[in-house]
Amino acid sequence: MGGDVRADGARGADIGALPGPLVTAEWLAARLGAPGLLVLDASVGAHRGSGARIAGAGVFDIDGALSDHTAPVPHTMPDAVRFTDGMRALGLNDADTVVVYDAAGIYSSARAWWMLRAMGFDRAAVLDGGLPAWTAAGLPVDEGAPGPAPVRGDFTARPRPGLLVDAGTVAEALADPDAAVLDARTRGRFEGTEPEPRAGLRGGHMPGAVSLPFGRLQDDGRMLPPDELRAAFAGAAGDRKRLYFSCGSGVTACVLALGAELAGYRGTAVYDGSWSEWGLPSADRPVATGPEQG
């Protein structure tokens, strides 16, 4: 069966099973417009509302409705009721398949993927290379304001405990010789030699954490092959299999989570508050500067 007619006049193929948590532009282009496929732009910051979107894509607004703005730190996961409402407004149904991307390559799209997983939705994948890979392949984009709101979906969040964790859980992991806490920020921010982009935060890292900047898992905005990802994680975590990921505000930590999934790790977790919470002077949590000790 051929699927629905796409905006460019072609017919979207049946979706079939996702090949994994990462899909290529070619895989998505062959299915664009197929019923049951929802494509979402999860760009943040300077890339949010960049003016071009994959044809037909909705907006997964991590800076807006899909964060808990009552929390004291940015990009905090909303509760199940709010997340359900936000995803239904995007037209998501429980039986759908989702591909998320961002305009930076792979930056905030991994956060959207992890949020969906944390809320019990597994039929989601990240577009490898994001919008830059899509446009480089000459594939269709929409420009200007998004179209009318879609028909509300029937998605219901079913939270999974343990995928997003708090500061107390991370503190326990830092003291656990069988666990590793990996920090996705730049080496300079980790060591405290570069300023934090958010005012008022202390510089440095959690004592016992290990630096693994998220960019080390990528080449030109695309994730490295699984064997190279395994080598990167082994170099940072050794033989420890319980991995916890942190960053500035819980966004690029999810790039590490995506890389770990591709490398074959399971049971990993993201520190939702990340350095935006741990680094607050009022948090009264220990901070180290300089290279990691180990």
Residue 36, phi-psi category: left (phi > 0), alpha (psi -120 to 50), beta (remainder): left
| Contact present, 241 and 176 (Cβ < 8 Å) | no
Contact 95, 15 (CB under 8 A): no
Return the percentage of the chain with pLDDT > 90, whole number.
89
pLDDT of residue 55: 93
Task: Let me know if 254 is a catalytic residue.
Answer: no
Q: What is the mean pLDDT of residues 129-139?
A: 97
Phi-psi region of 267 (alpha: psi -120 to 50; beta: other; left: phi over 0): left
pLDDT tops 50 at residue 3? no
Q: How confident is the model at residue 51 (pLDDT cuts 50, 70, 90)?
A: confident
Predicted pLDDT at 47: 67
Question: Mean per-residue pLDDT for 121-137?
Answer: 97
Q: Residue 45: what pLDDT?
A: 81
Residue 145, burial from CB neighbour count under 10 angstroms (0-12, 13-18, 19+): exposed
* Section 13-36 average pLDDT: 94
Closest Cα partner for 241 from 215, 213, 218, 264?
264
The catalytic position among 28, 112, 173, 247 is 247
**Of 123-137, 145-159, 183-197, 266-280, where does mean pLDDT reach its minimum?**
145-159
Q: Which among 269, 294, 283 has a CA at the least distance from the CA of 208?
A: 294
Q: What is the mean pLDDT of the chain?
A: 93
**What are residue 227's phi and psi, to 5 degrees?**
-65, -35
Residue 8 has pLDDT above 60, yes or no: no
Domains of the chain: 22-143 (3.40.250.10), 164-283 (3.40.250.10)
What does the pLDDT read at residue 12?
A: 47
pTM for the full model? 0.94
